[in-house]
């Protein structure tokens, strides 16, 4: 029976490749219509995620990395795309301790600056850029007319420059279409939701938050040197990359990563936390540079090879034991130093 189930799974892999071809053609056909591609992805993300396999990881990654090169959705009025408006504004830091950004189609950047007094906001938008502040909370809503415009147009963007060492109490970002980039940004809690686009969080120094929830429908999620006591990372279609130079003495709760279709790649200096990884279609890799202590493994791949070369030290001075739970439906699992 086990062999029969394995055969069925590999048949599913072959079917998924056929599905990829059909899905790619359907993307191209969208060029003929003035539809909201973000809604299309959101409505079909479960179907997309459940039909891809480990054998097409490269196609997934390349497609997402070059999404602006392979998808063009024509607008009936392309000249409108170039008639964007400019907004430049300085914002008091106290009013953005809690920042909530919502937009339909826009590149979003929040980066560190040398200004120690205020935050600087610049925005290129088509229709509306509404900014409302109340006490320590600021809401930013950007309307560029929907994701049915030509997504190769890079004019629409929101850039916020934040003074060094400033820390958001809460940072929420929601976008239908567009990449999100955070560079050397600190926050206590963050919730990021993206329908179509990559999310890139990159800090020069190891930074730890209290909560970090990130949810992607289609795109690559890459996090460097940003960690959280409570982390939940979800991606329907695309890779999840987490690389942190942690100190080894943080008391973090369980790290949860879930991926329907794509590779999960994680790297730690020290591994002393509970981990729960679920991957439907794609490889799962864990790399530890220094020590891993008191670990119990619960690892299973239905179709794929499991390689565990992780060196684990048993330390009786520690009262805690940590569980590494990994579930792969299709894809190799690798743990190594």
pLDDT at 260 over 90: yes
pLDDT band at 154 (very low <50, low <70, confident <90, very high): low
Comparing 28 with 249, the larger pLDDT belongs to 249
* Range of lowest pLDDT (68-77, 175-184, 254-263, 320-329): 68-77
**For residues 57 and 220, what is the distance between their CA atoms, to the nearest angstrom?**
12
Residue 222, beta-bridge partner list: 200, 241
Task: List, for residues 178-230, the tens digit of each pLDDT value.
Answer: 999 999 999 999 999 999 999 999 999 999 999 999 999 999 999 999 999 99
Average the pLDDT over 2-13 and give the result: 47
Average the pLDDT over 78-98 and give the result: 83
* Range of lowest pLDDT (15-19, 170-174, 238-242): 15-19
pTM, full prediction: 0.80
pLDDT band at 84 (very low <50, low <70, confident <90, very high): confident
Q: The tokens 């990559």 sit on which residue?
A: 198
> What percentage of the chain has pLDDT greater than the value 70?
73
Task: List, for residues 120-146, the tens digit of each pLDDT value.
Answer: 999 998 889 999 999 999 999 998 876
Average the pLDDT over 24-38 and give the result: 40
């Amino acid at each position: 029976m086990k062999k029969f189930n394995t055969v069925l799974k590999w048949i599913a892999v072959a079917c998924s490749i056929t599905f990829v071809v059909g899905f790619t053609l359907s993307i191209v056909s969208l060029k003929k219509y003035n539809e909201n591609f973000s809604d299309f992805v959101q409505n079909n993300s479960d179907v997309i995620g459940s039909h891809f396999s480990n054998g097409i990881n490269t196609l997934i990654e390349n497609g997402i990395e070059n999404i602006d090169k392979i998808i063009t959705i024509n607008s009936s009025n392309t000249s409108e795309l170039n008639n964007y408006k400019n907004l430049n504004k300085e914002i008091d830091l106290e009013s953005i301790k809690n920042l909530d950004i919502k937009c339909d189609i826009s590149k979003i950047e929040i980066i560190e600056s040398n200004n120690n007094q205020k935050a600087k906001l610049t925005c290129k938008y088509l229709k509306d850029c509404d900014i409302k502040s109340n006490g320590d909370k600021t809401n930013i809503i950007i309307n560029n007319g929907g994701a049915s415009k030509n997504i190769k147009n890079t004019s629409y963007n929101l850039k916020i420059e934040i003074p060094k060492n400033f820390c958001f109490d809460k940072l929420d970002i929601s976008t239908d279409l567009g990449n999100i980039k955070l560079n050397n940004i600190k926050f206590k809690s963050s919730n990021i939701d993206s329908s179509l686009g990559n999310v890139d969080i990159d800090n020069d120094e190891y930074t730890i938050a209290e909560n970090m929830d990130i949810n992607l429908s289609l795109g690559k999620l890459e996090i460097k040197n940003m960690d959280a006591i409570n982390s939940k990372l979800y991606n329907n279609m695309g890779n999840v990359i987490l690389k942190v130079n942690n100190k080894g003495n943080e008391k973090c709760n369980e790290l949860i990563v879930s991926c329907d279709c794509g590779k999960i790649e994680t790297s730690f200096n020290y591994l002393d936390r509970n981990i729960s990884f679920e991957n439907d279609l794609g490889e799962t890799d864990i790399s530890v540079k220094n020590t891993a202590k008191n670990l119990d493994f619960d690892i299973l791949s239905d179709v794929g090879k499991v390689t565990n070369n992780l060196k684990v030290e048993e330390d009786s001075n520690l009262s805690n034991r940590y569980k590494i739970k990994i579930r792969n439906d299709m894809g190799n699992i690798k743990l190594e130093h």
